[in-house]
Structure formats: structure tokens, C-alpha cells
Amino acid sequence: MPNTACRSLNCTPDRPLGPRKPRLKCRVALAGALAAALWAGAPAWASDDHAAPAQAAKPVPKAVAAAVPSAAADPMDSLREKLAAKLGAARAPEAASPYVVRVVSKSGEAAHGTATGDAAKPAGNGSAPKPAKARAAAPPAIPDGHAAHWGYGGAGGPEQWGAMKSEFSTCATGTRQSPIDIRSGVRVDLEPIQFDYRPSGFRVVDNGHTIQVNVGGGNSIEVQGRRYDLVQFHFHRPSEERIDGRQFDMVAHLVHKDPEGRLAVVAVLLDRGSAHPLVQTIWNNLPLEKGEEVAAKSALDMNHLLPADRRYFTYMGSLTTPPCSEGVLWMVMQQPVPIATDQINVFSRLYPMNARPIQSAAGRLIKQSN
């Protein structure tokens, strides 16, 4: 019997009629459907659009003919016999009654309500079944280098820097990382840092991590027999370095480079106090947008940023931002420089906190000026 007969009656052989109806055999429903079809004179099971094309009736198998009683015994037997002939049915071997027959789909179509459903039906031209329409694809993964751009908190915070990109791995695996808490420095007669600073043009940029000042050429330092040119300086709040556990309001890092590419950083600690003219000159030239570089019309004399007392601590460390490269010579000025509360607040509006946590000193030798 075509699947549509059972679907239209909401039953299958030997199954309840619907989820909550009493268990009745499908033979009752089939007999009623056949009677209605015969009386109406309409072709049976022609209304289902998904049914397989009609096929010629098959002769009644001998097994069915033997199992069905003669018409003289029961007027309904004639109808049942015609039904069996039309459907090409066979009596169910497990059925207790001879009037129960098993109906098998002649088209091979998946039964209504099964897991395959209409999606498994072959196309009318015999082609392979079309795959079900895919669900909307997830957004593509964000490319490496843009996923959680490094910062000072959340998914891109300092604890994650080393895992964000292979170039940043030293942030997690390095053994000479900065900043550190400077304690128990060895007091020695350190040679003074020779500052060769002169008034120069400068440009101010908000690079998304801090306020950076790119300084014109002609500024340098000389220490340990090497000369390093000043490239740029920038700010952190609060200070990244600590002196015997004390952290300061801000710090300025003056980054120098020698001809071989080696770095030397002078750290000037900034502590709350009076206004600082050089800092105010920089704030006066702050760009309105991140990434925008503002060329100042005035000159900047870096000597005005240095403390009067030029004694310092020194040790070998790293950059305090990714890629955290090591081999950096650090010189931290012992005397802090004053900065006004209002000037601190200007920077805080842009970067309330942009300081890397303290790193392990790992037994490094720290020297300080007598």
C-alpha cells in the first residue's frame, strides 16, 4: 500500500491510531478507506503530492489467496480480497487473524514521520538527493594579530601577552623581564650618564597604549662607553618600576638606541607635586584621535625633564610591552620629578592604568650610585 494511505489515516499496521487513541488494528482503517473509495468512485490515494507514481496492480499472491476466506463466508471478504489485490499485500505471518495484512511501500519512499523524511527522497529525474540546506555559517575566526589586541586588562592583559602571538612568547618565557621592584641594590661608584640633550622639534601621538613623543635628532646619552640616540619617550600610570616596594604616580621612559640596535631606557619617576612645564607642553599638543601624530610648533628641551640629582639604579631587563624583548639596559633615576594632580588627571582620562605588573628579579644584579 502506498505510504499515503497510512499517512492519511495516521496509522501504521499494528500501531495505535494517534498518540492517545485506543490500539486498533490498521485493517479497520484500511477497510473503511477502501469502502469510501469504492462508494465515491474516485481513484484511491491520488491526493498526496509526494506519493510515488501509481503502478499497475499485482496479482494476489497465492499465500494471500489461501489465507483469505471465500466471499460466501463474509461479504466483506470480497472487499478485503480486492484490497489485497490492489495493494500487492501479503498476510502478516505473525498476525493471529487471517484478515490482517502487512502493507509494504512499492515506491521505496521513506515513511512519513521517519528520521529521513522528505529530505531523503530522490529527485524526480533519479538524481542523487539534494543535501539539506546548511545552517548559517559561524563568523570567520578573526585573523591572528587582531584577536584580543594586547592591552592592560581582560583577554589582552599582561597575563595573556605571551600566548597571543609567537613573537610575544618572551613575555611569558623570558628570565630578564621588566619592570621589577628595585631592592637591595649594590652601591658602587657608577659612572654618571652623559646626557647630550638640546632643544628639538617633536611630534605627539596617541598610539592606543600611551602618549608617545617622537623627538627630533641630535639628542643622545653616553654610558658604559656606548652612545645611544634618543628615539622617543612615553608615559605609564602608575609607575611600572618600584623602589623598595613604593610605586609612584607616573613614570616617563626615555628610549635610546645605539647603531647596533641595542636599547637603553632612562626611567624618570613622576610624583605628585607642582606642575611640570615640559609635561604641560606635551599635553598642549595632544592629538584628538588615536593614531594621529601632531607636530608641535615649539621646541622641547629634554634636560628639563631630568631630576637635579642624576644618581640612578641600573640592571639588565626587557621592554615592558610586547614583544618584551630582553637585553635592554635600564637606568632608573633615584630622585622623582614633581607633576601636578591636574596633569596626572589629564593622562588618566586617556589611560587610567597602563602599567605592566612587577616581574621577578630572578637574582639579577642591581647596582646603584653612591
For the annotated catalytic residues, the residue numbers are 209
d(CA 245, CA 163): 29
